[in-house]
A and B are shown apart, each in its own frame.
Chain A
Amino acid sequence: MTVEALKEKITALFPAVTFEEGGQWLTILVESADWHGIADILRQNETLCFDYLLCLTCIDWKTHLTMVYHLDATKYRHNLVVKVRLEKVNPAIETVSDIWQTANFHEREVYEMFGVNFLHHPDLRLLILPDGWEGKNPLLKDFEDPINMIKL
């Protein structure tokens, strides 16, 4: 499906989402409360069929966090980027590990690095960091480590 057709289809299905301009792929901005429902439809819809979650990550913008999901469809080979804005204090979002099973590990990594709480995740605990690093969230921009980190 071309980018314009994709844009029309998504506007038709989800009137509330907004588009972000200037990205490499079509980028949509979604509210965190609607995310699970939208993700379900993106996966199940016959003409969209986004069944491959490439990359799940988070960006710390100092005033808020943004979750970024890169999606790909194996049948039609169209791409979509979904961004969800989260609050800096107690960020929480629904898990999508029941829709794409690869999200299980990716969400655990975002939980330990950024402190985002994934609701209804089957097994949310530290994956890569050693024991005792809960709450330290190293990839946040205000992570303090006076021994190792050099402030430029």
Chain B
Amino acid sequence: MVEEIGSTADGNIILNVGPQHPATHGVLHLVITINGETIQKVEPHLGYIHRSIEKMCESLTYRQFIYVTSRMDYLSSHINNHACALCVEKGLQIEIPSRAQVIRVLMDELTRIASHELWWGAMAMDLGALTPFFHAFREREAINDIMEETCGARLTMNYMVPGGVMQDIHPNFQKRVKEFITLFKSKVSEYNELVTGNIIFQNRMKGVGNLSAADAISFGCSGPTARGSGVSCDIRKLYPYEIYDKINFEEILESEGDSFARYMVRVREMSQSISIIEQLIDNIPEGDFQAKTKAVLKLPKGEFYQRVETARGDFGVYIVSEGGSTPYRIKFRSPGFSNLSALDHMARGSKLGDLVAMMGTLDLVIPDIDR
């Protein structure tokens, strides 16, 4: 460590937040320098969940390494798997049947809603409101039940494979998703009354953690963190993959750049995801759910990069292949890594209590950052 914990000569105190802390959403260790209650500097110390995934993937085949990405950003596990499957398919140059494409997009959007639900509940809990946590998990359990019926697991589903999806959807899938849509629509107004319109919540979030658009781009922020500052960066719109170019949905942008703007972006994204699901759920085309691929996949020599939009931002999979059955080098470009680097810039000059609100709106999942 560079600075010892204690007090410095000019009256600043150096304080540890984490790694074990209820508000850090995983094991994030922040060493903050404060003067009174005003923050002078925030320094993240990472690595408390560094599982050396990139080195490990060099010894796994192209079918095997996908399960590891479920565990990186575990709240958007389908979307991470989707990115890996798309990258491998890009290398193999195979066509995916349209039924598989629609199923993949449906699963992605359900995962996005589940991730934002958990974010919402955990963020309200950090600010002291314990009730929204239980409401959020009630809806999340509905989504987990749908996932479990089709994919077999609640959190880390290895459902996307190169070529399509692993199994066809359960016969009850459409009915349960439609029930979920009606349930969710009735709850959105409840969320707005409970938390969004709450005067204490608004005072704690408005004007806190300002991030200008130029800074957001320079720090490499993406996802709702950047969209709250007005930067248009939704990969689903800009570099569409699968069938996103054929679906009608809006990219939510807010211009203030403070924590409340980032919060509103995520809440509105949940409604957009519901509208995407509504457009697709009745129109799942018939056909195969998986394209025929060889048992052992070998990518040709070259490099392949795939970008997708996870719930946190722009996730990238970069595969460098030498023609063998295992990749030569894999790099996962995680959105949280860049979003976290903006925390120091946002937090200088604010109070200690605002730091929690800022970390909440950045929506950090630390295993995604440490890989």
**Chain A residues at the B interface, C-beta cutoff of 8 Å:** 22-25, 51-55, 57, 59-60, 68, 70, 74, 77, 100-102, 104-106, 125-131, 138-139, 143, 150, 152
Known: A54-B220, A127-B46, A129-B50. A59 touches B320 (CB 8 A): yes
Contacting chain A: which of B243-251, B261-269, B302-310, B354-362? B302-310
- Across the interface, which residues of A come within 8 angstroms of B307, CB to CB? 54
Q: What is the minimal beta-carbon distance from B93 to any residue of chain A, in angstroms?
A: 12
> B351 within 8 Å of A by Cβ?
no
Known: A52-B217, A53-B220. A105 touches B55 (CB 8 A): no
> B331 within 8 Å of A by Cβ?
yes
Contact B219 A101 (CB under 8 A): yes
The distance in angstroms between the C-alpha atoms of A129 and B54, with both chains bound, is: 13
The distance in angstroms between the C-alpha atoms of A67 and B52, with both chains bound, is: 20
58-105 of chain B: CB within 8 A of chain A:
59, 90
The distance in angstroms between the C-alpha atoms of A51 and B219, with both chains bound, is: 10
Known: A51-B218, A52-B217, A57-B318. A23 touches B52 (CB 8 A): no
Q: Say which residue of B47, B220, B233 sits within 8 Å of A127 (CB atoms).
A: B47
Q: Say which residue of A68, A102, A104, A128 sits within 8 Å of B47 (CB atoms).
A: A128
> B314 within 8 Å of A by Cβ?
yes
B: interface residue count bin: 35 or more
Q: What is the minimal beta-carbon distance from B311 to any residue of chain A, in angstroms?
A: 18
Q: What is the minimal beta-carbon distance from A132 to any residue of chain B, in angstroms?
A: 12
Contact B341 A102 (CB under 8 A): yes
Known: A59-B320, A101-B341, A105-B341. A138 touches B220 (CB 8 A): no
Q: Which 6 pairs, one residue from A and one from B, show the smallest C-beta to C-beta distance?
A: A102-B220, A128-B47, A55-B333, A57-B331, A101-B218, A105-B341
The distance in angstroms between the C-alpha atoms of A115 and B109, with both chains bound, is: 40
Cross-chain pairs A/B with CB under 8 angstroms, 25 sampled? A22-B302, A24-B304, A51-B217, A52-B217, A53-B220, A54-B314, A54-B316, A55-B331, A59-B320, A59-B329, A68-B318, A70-B333, A74-B217, A74-B232, A100-B220, A101-B219, A101-B341, A102-B220, A102-B338, A102-B341, A128-B47, A128-B50, A138-B52, A139-B54, A152-B59
- Across the interface, which residues of A come within 8 angstroms of B1, CB to CB? 131
Known: A52-B220, A53-B220. A150 touches B341 (CB 8 A): no
Contact B46 A74 (CB under 8 A): no
> B295 within 8 Å of A by Cβ?
no
The distance in angstroms between the C-alpha atoms of A127 and B2, with both chains bound, is: 12
The distance in angstroms between the C-alpha atoms of A130 and B90, with both chains bound, is: 36
Known: A22-B302, A152-B59. A125 touches B47 (CB 8 A): no
> B231 within 8 Å of A by Cβ?
yes
Known: A24-B304, A77-B238, A127-B47. A138 touches B217 (CB 8 A): no
Contact B50 A23 (CB under 8 A): no
Number of A-B residue pairs, CB cutoff 8 Å, is: 77
Interface of A is mostly: loop
Q: What is the minimal beta-carbon distance from A42 to any residue of chain B, in angstroms?
A: 14
- Across the interface, which residues of B come within 8 angstroms of A126, CB to CB? 47
Q: What is the minimal beta-carbon distance from B252 to any residue of chain A, in angstroms?
A: 17
Q: Say which residue of A51, A74, A105, A150 sits within 8 Å of B338 (CB atoms).
A: A105
The distance in angstroms between the C-alpha atoms of A24 and B337, with both chains bound, is: 24
- Across the interface, which residues of B come within 8 angstroms of A131, CB to CB? 1
The distance in angstroms between the C-alpha atoms of A152 and B60, with both chains bound, is: 11
The distance in angstroms between the C-alpha atoms of A66 and B125, with both chains bound, is: 45
Contact A54 B333 (CB under 8 A): yes
Q: Say which residue of A25, A60, A74, A101 sits within 8 Å of B233 (CB atoms).
A: A74
Q: What is the minimal beta-carbon distance from B226 to any residue of chain A, in angstroms?
A: 9
Q: Interface digits, B221-242 against A, CB 8 Å rule (1 contact, 0 not)?
A: 0000000000111000010000
- Across the interface, which residues of B come within 8 angstroms of A102, CB to CB? 218-220, 338, 341
> B108 within 8 Å of A by Cβ?
no
Known: A74-B233, A138-B52, A152-B59. A128 touches B370 (CB 8 A): yes
B59 to chain A: closest residue by CB:
A152
B333 to chain A: closest residue by CB:
A55
- Across the interface, which residues of A come within 8 angstroms of B2, CB to CB? 125
The distance in angstroms between the C-alpha atoms of A112 and B55, with both chains bound, is: 14
- Across the interface, which residues of B come within 8 angstroms of A68, CB to CB? 318
Contact B59 A150 (CB under 8 A): yes
B49 to chain A: closest residue by CB:
A128
Q: What is the minimal beta-carbon distance from B171 to any residue of chain A, in angstroms?
A: 39
- Across the interface, which residues of B come within 8 angstroms of A24, CB to CB? 90, 303-305
Q: What is the minimal beta-carbon distance from A16 to any residue of chain B, in angstroms?
A: 23
- Across the interface, which residues of A come within 8 angstroms of B59, CB to CB? 150, 152
The distance in angstroms between the C-alpha atoms of A101 and B302, with both chains bound, is: 29
Q: What is the minimal beta-carbon distance from B320 to any residue of chain A, in angstroms?
A: 6
